Structure 1
Amino acid sequence: MAENVIKRLKLRDQLSGGPSKIFVLVGRNIMVSLLIALVFVFMEKFSLRNDFSGWEVVGGTIGYLAVTAKKMYFDEASAELRVRANMEPSLLRDAMLSIGYSERRDGVYFSDDCKSEVITCTIQRSVAIFTGPYDRLVTLSRAL
C-alpha cells in the first residue's frame, strides 16, 4: 500500500451507529433558537427594533441548522483511514499525541479536548484501519 486512503462514510452509515448525532443536532438547534429569540427580545426591550415578528428567529435557526449539519455530517463525518500495518508503535503513539489524542484502551484513542471524539484502530493483515472524525483523520494521515 503506497499511500494512506481516507474514505468518508455515507450519512446512512453514520446514523446507523445510533441516533445520538441527530439528537445532538436537534438539541443544539433548540438552544440556538432560544438564544436568537432572547437577543431579539432584548433588542426590542432597548428600542433597537420596532417589533418582534419571529421570522428573524426562523431565518437564523435555518442558517444555523445548515452550517451545523454540514459541519457535523461532512467536515466531522465518520471516516476510515487505511495505512500500512507494519509501522512502529512509537510512530503511531507520537502521531496520535501530535494531533491531541491519547490511548486509554488498547486500540482506542480519546481526544484531550473533547471527550466524545474517539479514534479506533484495528489491524487486519497488512492494513491498519482507523475510524473517527474525517478532519482528525486527515491530520493523522499527514502526521504519519
Structure 2
Amino acid sequence: MMPKRNNLCEIVALMRNKLGIWIQQEREKRGLSQSTLARLAGLNRAVINKIENDLVQPRPETLIAIAKGLNIPRLTVFRAVGWIEESTSNVRLDEADYILSMLENDDLEEIIQIAKLKLERQKAQINKQTSRNKKPARSALIEQ
C-alpha cells in the first residue's frame, strides 16, 4: 500500500531537513564556514545556506560538488540523502569512488580503459580454463 501523499511529502521534507543538518555538521566538523565550503565546492555560498536551511532540494551535481568540497566520497553524501541504502556500504567501493571523483576527465578515461582491459583479460583466462576442463584428456582419447 502506498503512503498517503501528505505522508510522502512529510517523509521527503524530513529527508531534506536531515540532509541540511548533516551537511552543516560535516562542514562544522571540518572547521569550514559556508563561504569556504562554497569556494571548495565551486558553488555560491547562498546555495550552501539554502541547502542547510532546507530551502532547496539540491541536484545530484550539487551534492557531488559538496562531497568534493568536504573531501568525502560522493556515495557517503548519497547515503545521507537517502538515495543509497546504508546496507550497501562498501569501504573499497567508497574509496574507489572518491579517488575516481578527484581525477581529471582524461585520467579518468585512462583508468576506465585499463579496468576494461583487465576485465577482458580476466574473462579470457576464465574461458581458457573452462575450455580446458571440457576437453577430454589425451589418455582418454587414446584408450578408445
User: What TM-score range do you get, normalising by the shorter chain?
Assistant: under 0.3
| Greater helix share, structure number | 2
| Greater strand share, structure number | 1
So what's the TM-score if we normalise by structure 1?
0.25
Which has the greater radius of gyration?
2
